[in-house]
Amino acid sequence: MTNEKKPMTDLSQTAKDVRTVVVTQEYLDALRKEVGLHIDPMTAEVEWIYAQTLDPYGDDRDLPEEYQQVGREYFARSPGSNVWICFCDLPEATQNILWKKHTSKLAFPAGLEWPSRA
């Protein structure tokens, strides 16, 4: 008896046997906040995009029209990572360091000072 795997020839049958995983919004939110805890603000990369302010990741396909508002949303990631985390999911101390370090890239218009949180 060998441990060789037989080639899959009937993919439609195989797909029926594969379990699907449902990821809840609560799980995604918690995961993003956890990832945000591990972003080092001294080495992080930052970027901004125009996005829904109440749904910066674009998760909610049914966002009611009255909640749809586009604005600048700010994201950070660890160097080399492809996972961008919205500033709103970062610890406040990390946000403050990133704003101070990257004001010229993030502020609008360029060079605008970030308001003090004192």
Q: Where are the beta strands (DSSP E) in 1-118?
A: 45-52, 70-77, 85-86
Q: How many domains does the chain have?
A: 1
Q: What percent of the chain has pLDDT over 90?
A: 66
**With 90 as the cut, is the pLDDT of residue 52 above it?**
yes
In a domain, 108, yes or no: yes
Q: Which tops the pLDDT comparison, 73 or 12?
A: 73
In a domain, 66, yes or no: yes
What pLDDT sits at residue 108?
74
For 53-105, what is each residue's pLDDT tens digit? 999 999 998 999 999 999 999 999 999 999 999 999 999 999 999 999 999 88
Which structural domain range is residue 50 located in? 39-112
